[in-house]
Structure 1
């Protein structure tokens, strides 16, 4: 399987061997060290990682002390019952705290060392995989700033294990995390995404995959006004709910021709799709950048199936921009020639390309209108109402 490539660019057959073949541990550690020294990844025991180490260490020491003290107490009771207590038990109690602390520290160090080595091997494998397929690897990128819906929500936004290529167009595979809420209500949201750079800006279009929706509807973090829902021909509506800005239905039909709809159904039915500005995003609530060859083969096949169709989209133009440009031209040219004044003849015919609107999207087509997630709100309201009723004892009036 090969991603389509530009005529002047080299072709790289899909090669998953670096993901599974043996790795020299020393070489992986040296690679991770270079990443830390260059600032591309943080040190193991700095910042939040150091806090985690301290918390885990305290927990292990506390839990281990309680467990071992209970064990020694039971042993002392048994020894006293048979008349073998005394000095030995006292000495044992004196040694236990130091023993527990030593074991706890050893466990913490071994655990984090093992985790560090595992992370080093993972990064080393992904870097080699990216290089073998004509791409590059970046361990992490804070706040990517992309225009997709998942990139403007919450805090602590971070993309990780980014695998990038730029032939024939820029493509990025990555995992993404962000957090919402605070305290006990703090939640970390995990996504995998593919970002593909398009030739021209297009209207904001969302394909909500029906196959990955949950009990209360879409799994996407945004809800869109139902009036923007567009039904397409064939079986497309069985797999996707398509949303486009009001008035852009004909444009969506131009972009999603039957052959392109078939590509999405056959290759991307398990993925949510967003077209915004000059980007196309594929989303799923799972990691994309992994050490699993099957996942990469699937993602490469999806992108490869779509890439050769994007050339059709490059020809799309927003006719609303032509009308706006004509209004500006008319305003700048002043009033028409009066009666008796001879209008100057145009000595040439404007080329057809000059009559086409420029690339871009009119303001009304750049973003979908957000909606209200009524299903989720009703479900949450029902849960809250049930809790209130159960706590106030009202149910007891009906069930005695």
Structure 2
């Protein structure tokens, strides 16, 4: 991402299938083919199963009819297998179309990235990011990832992970934007109220005593959590102009600040071939990037101080520069280094009461009839 550059034409322009195939071959060689590799494996497995099981069964009824001299009986016995073959053909066609479309989508995104000063990364297994969604479950990976490096590092990706196993497994999908910040900041979460249904949609819950109410209409759009003792720091970071940017551009996105990263989350794909989605994402990130520079001046008063690297010379210019920085000490004073004290690095997790209540109700609806039936049998 460079400046306000936004060229969506590669997302909709016609593509050369030869170029698409060459691109996918290159991606597979680099181990970044993503979901298309899994689709290819599925197609191969389905075809192999069909060849090993169904094909021989098709010829058995015909052989029986030929040997017995009654070909009609053989053809009648063939009908179930013909139906199974038709279903197989439909399944394979759907898989092949999805595989083809996946390759086209990845190719379009790669060209879109190049046209907008970014790079197409593709698949990232177990991405090493500190956000709350990146450490749950197993089989974790990002697909169709795009990265920009100017004016700061930004990554767009579609992420998924799996919880449970077998029939009890569930796949969780998120779209995310990861923005690299200049300095580590306290762990702060903005739970967007506009995308919640029955309670928060976040994969983690936080202790209620960490809620902080901000001025204006901000509380109508977000619930803000910050570590205890860092309320003043949150107010410094979320000045009225920054709150306005989040309300205007990110009111449907959950936000997390952790270490020196800012994450924007949503429960649908971020990396897509929809030009309108990218226009919104570019506008959102661009509006926020212009305000992140002032966060670089934040320092944690809970850290031990260290001598300033180069104290400014006394005079009107130095005094003016010092006065312009919130929390700035007088010229020549010792200042904490960049970083966050242990108590501010992570929010305290809370108890997901809604999930517990729902589980208790479901369990009760199953256990009570069993218990009542047992009592009725006992007193007969």
Q: TM-score range by the shorter chain?
A: 0.7 to 0.9
1:50 corresponding residue in structure 2:
41
Contact kept, 8 Å, 1:172 with 1:195, in 2: the verdict is yes
- Secondary structure of 1:220 counterpart: coil
Contact 2:54-2:81 within 8 A present in 1 as well: no
Structure 1 stretch displaced more, 151-160 or 11-20: 11-20
Correspondence for 2:138 among 152, 155, 167: 155
Alignment counterpart, residue 277 of structure 2, candidates 295, 300, 304: 295
Deviations 1:221-257 (A, max 9, x none): 1111111111111111111110000000000000000
Quickly say closer, same or farther: Cα 1:60–1:175, change in 2 above 3 A.
Answer: farther
Equivalent of residue 384 in structure 1, options 355, 363, 368: 363
Structure 2 contact 183–338 (Cα < 8 Å) conserved: yes
In 2, Cα distance between equivalents of 1:246 and 1:98: 67
How far the C-alpha of 1:279 sits from its partner, in A, is: 0.2
1:169 aligned residue: 152
**Residue from 238, 247, 256 that aligns with 1:274:** 256
Q: Would the aligned equivalents of 1:162 and 1:289 in 2 still touch at CA under 8 Å?
A: yes
Residues of 2 paired with 1:391 and 1:188: CA distance? 32
Mapped contact 1:157–1:178 kept (Cα < 8 A): yes
300-309 or 94-103: bigger deviation: 94-103
Please report the TM-score for the alignment, with normalisation by the length of structure 1: 0.78
The 8 Å contact of residues 61 and 100 in structure 1, kept in 2 or not, is answered as no
- Tell me, yes or no, if the aligned pair for 2:207 and 2:349 is still in contact at 8 Å: yes
Aligned runs of 1:3-14 on 2, under 5 Å? 5=2, 11=3, 13-14=5-6
Task: State the partner residue of 2:313.
Answer: none
Larger-gyration structure (1/2): 1
Q: How is 1:168-247 mapped onto 2 (pairs within 5 angstroms)?
A: 168-215=151-198, 217-247=199-229
Aligned residues: 349
Task: Give the match for residue 358 of structure 1.
Answer: 337
SS where residue 40 of structure 1 aligns? coil
Gaps of 5+ in 1: 6-10, 73-85, 327-349
Question: What is the distance in 1 between the residues matched to 2:340 and 2:224?
Answer: 18
Structure 1 residues 26, 209: closer, same or farther in 2, change over 3 A? same
**Which ranges of structure 2 fall in alignment gaps of 5 or more residues?**
63-68, 308-328
How far off its partner does 1:391 sit? Answer: 3.6
1:338-381 per-residue CA deviation (whole Å, 9 max, x = no partner) reads xxxxxxxxxxxx99366121111111100011111112211210
The verdict on how the C-alpha distance between 1:395 and 1:194 changes in structure 2, with shifts beyond 3 A counting, is: farther
> Aligned runs of 1:4-153 on 2, under 5 Å?
5=2, 11=3, 13-41=5-33, 50=41, 53-54=44-45, 58=49, 87-93=70-76, 107=90, 109-153=92-136
Deviations 1:311-330 (A, max 9, x none): 1101100111135x69xxxx
1: CA distance, partners of 2:55 / 2:22: 35
Mapped to 1, the partners of 2:34 and 2:44 lie a distance apart of 15
- Closer, same or farther in 2 for the Cα pair 1:314/1:37, shift >3 Å? same
Counterpart position of 2:311:
none
Distance 1:59 1:288, change over 3 A: farther
Higher mean C-alpha deviation, range 54-63 or range 240-249: 54-63
The alignment partner of 1:120 has SS state of helix
CA distance in 2, matches of 1:119, 1:96: 35
Q: How far apart are residue 65 of structure 1 and its match?
A: 11
